[in-house]
Amino acid sequence: MTDVVFYFQVHQPHRLRKFTQLDIGQDAGESADAHYFDEYLNKLVLERVAERCYLPMNRVLLDAIRATDGRFRCSFAITGTVLDQLEAWAPDALQSFVDLVDTGHVEVICETSCHSLAFERGGDEFEQQVRSHRARLEHVFGTRPVTFRNTELIFDDALARRVEALGFEALLGEGADQLLQGKSPRRVYRPSGCQNLKLLLRDYLFSDDIAFRFSNRDWPQFPLMADTFADWLHKATADDEFIGLYMDYETFGEHQAAGTGILEFMQHVPEFVLAHDNLAFATPAEVARAHDAPPELSAPRPISWADAERDLSAWLANPMQQAAHEALYALLPDIRRAAGLGSPELLETWRRLTTSDHVYYMATKHQSDGDVHEYFSPYDSPYDAFMIFMNVLDDLRGRVDRALAPATPPEPNDPIAPPARSGKNDKKRAKRDGRAAASKKK
């Protein structure tokens, strides 16, 4: 029996407004979030995606679960940034996700709270974001996640060990050719250096048939029908333990419009898959628990599901991306000090800036990967994305400095400190102020 594992990534970033150098220091009492983020655009996109994708596709999946008496199963990783927006602007869509989880046939998968690259920096920020998001998911959905997927499926051996130390049972990853070296992506593996953690890889050929090629009229298999796709899966061999179909949830109705037939396709996939005796649906945790002693697989370098390279180059390849990433994390120690002195909102704002999309928009790749980056970016160019991000960081730096100022008062002999006031001068000033107040009363 081969298990078909659907995993959907649900994510929307907090996009920045067009923040210029003239805006630095001009907050006029606004909160940092209101000052930096384009809430009009974020709300517009979230409501559009909820209408086109989340609500209709969630109905398709709920109907499939009911029609198959729970034999259809799937999983979601829902980022903290999209949860923020669902709670604020589309609570009905959020409830539709809760309704799916309440069936008992949908697994909720954990990641970092802000879809960040915190793992790449070392330190404890990665663990803090993971613990925070795991607690939030448990609160919203009433279930504690046991499967983890890092931002954009990025993982390596070191990341896997950190995930195991956090108590997760399974980790999702990309079945990249340079990782597998001829091995099958349809086997459960144990990451090198781990004792119990199971690694479930994405089958990028089958996944991309849905996520990218489905509406491509130049594709020889166009139009792809549900029964045809199920027949392809049916040809899995006895050694194929599972087939990982991992993709962005916005594939359905947003990246590929409803007019392509993508929703109808997914409506019929469950029945055609289950018509084959050698196929079943399962969640990642169910697959992981069914395989006790998987073979070891080593990932000495980071692997992701992004771009042709399947590495970190989508986010950290060029000097702009690297400079922005370094400047962001250089601010963290002072951000934490400010949070401890009574400005926790600055840490929350900083974490929104760790969302990987911000450096993704700065990519300067060309050809097909460049087209993908341009599709998702709200900016006119990667250079605009860089300048806006760095302007925001400069302004945030000023807020942090002001928050830290009371903690480090100037020394008495500091030449820039204002002269000390004598008690005599204070008395004269009080009298003068009193006379001015009395004059106003008259």
Of 326, 296, 319, 112, nearest in space to 195 by CA: 296
φ and ψ of 259, to 5 deg: -65, -15
- Side-chain half-sphere CA neighbours of 122 within 13 A: 2
- Side-chain half-sphere CA neighbours of 235 within 13 A: 6
Of 56, 442, 91, 62, nearest in space to 250 by CA: 56
CA–CA separation, 362 and 313 (whole Å): 11
- Report the run of H or E that residue 200 belongs to, with start and end: strand 198-202
**Catalytic, out of 125, 152, 164, 254:** 152
The question of whether 152 is a catalytic residue gets the answer: yes
CA–CA separation, 88 and 415 (whole Å): 49
Phi-psi region of 312 (alpha: psi -120 to 50; beta: other; left: phi over 0): alpha
CA–CA separation, 270 and 61 (whole Å): 9
Helix (H/G/I), strand (E/B), else coil: 11? coil
CA–CA separation, 156 and 158 (whole Å): 6
In terms of C-beta density within 10 A (0-12 exposed, 13-18 middle, 19 or more buried), how is residue 104 classed? exposed
Positions annotated as catalytic residues are: 152
